[in-house]
Amino acid sequence: MSFSSDDKRPVKILFQDEARFGRINEPVKCWAPKGLRPIVNKQFIREYIYVYATVCPMSGEVFSLILPVCNTEAMSLFIDELSAYYKDFRVIVFMDKAGWHTSNELVIAENVRKLHLPPYSPELNPAEHLWEHIRENYFRNQMSDSLDNLEIKLMNVLNEVEADNETIKKLTNFKWLYFYN
């Protein structure tokens, strides 16, 4: 599963992960002026959508898709779209060993190679910090009245995050990625 030696395209190294966003929210502490008690609504509705994303710690690039499910077929679709987006590159994607990442039915494009991170080590995946950033800065103490509205908000947030390469580099360019520092 290596690239052809006569393939002269540059290499793009990405880290991939997926996250579930839903209509269940968990109120957390927040700042309010003295004497004012903030009111945060809580809802418990089991409706979800999933964001598949890659980050490039070196450039701060983010590529993402919002999909309705998290399975091998959706992952194959994500890889296909990623391949088309980076068609001028040979792409190495680091990912965890979720069942849909290791399935024999996963379709991997010609210009994409996958490498797995060690099991039970989310701290090694820079893409994990993308979800933390999005949840803390855009979804804290908020709820959506519909899955469609949640998807619209996620699209807007992802567009904003994808445009902010410097923040993504600060979040994901770990010291152990010595070849990037």
pLDDT given for residue 37 in this prediction: 77
Q: Is the dihedral of CA 123, 24, 22, 140 positive or negative?
A: negative
Query: pLDDT tens, 141-175?
Result: 677 788 899 999 999 999 999 999 999 999 998 87
Q: What is the mean pLDDT of the chain?
A: 88
| Backbone dihedral region for residue 107 (phi beyond 0: left; psi -120 to 50: alpha; all else: beta) | beta
- 113 Cβ neighbours under 8 A, 6+ residues apart: 1, 2, 3, 90, 91, 92, 93
Query: pLDDT category, 34, cuts 50, 70, 90?
Result: confident
For 11-172, CATH number?
3.30.420.10
11 vs 2, residue with greater confidence: 11
Domain limits, the chain:
11-172
Query: pLDDT tens, 14-32?
Result: 999 999 998 666 666 767 7
Q: What is the average per-residue pLDDT within 53-68?
A: 96
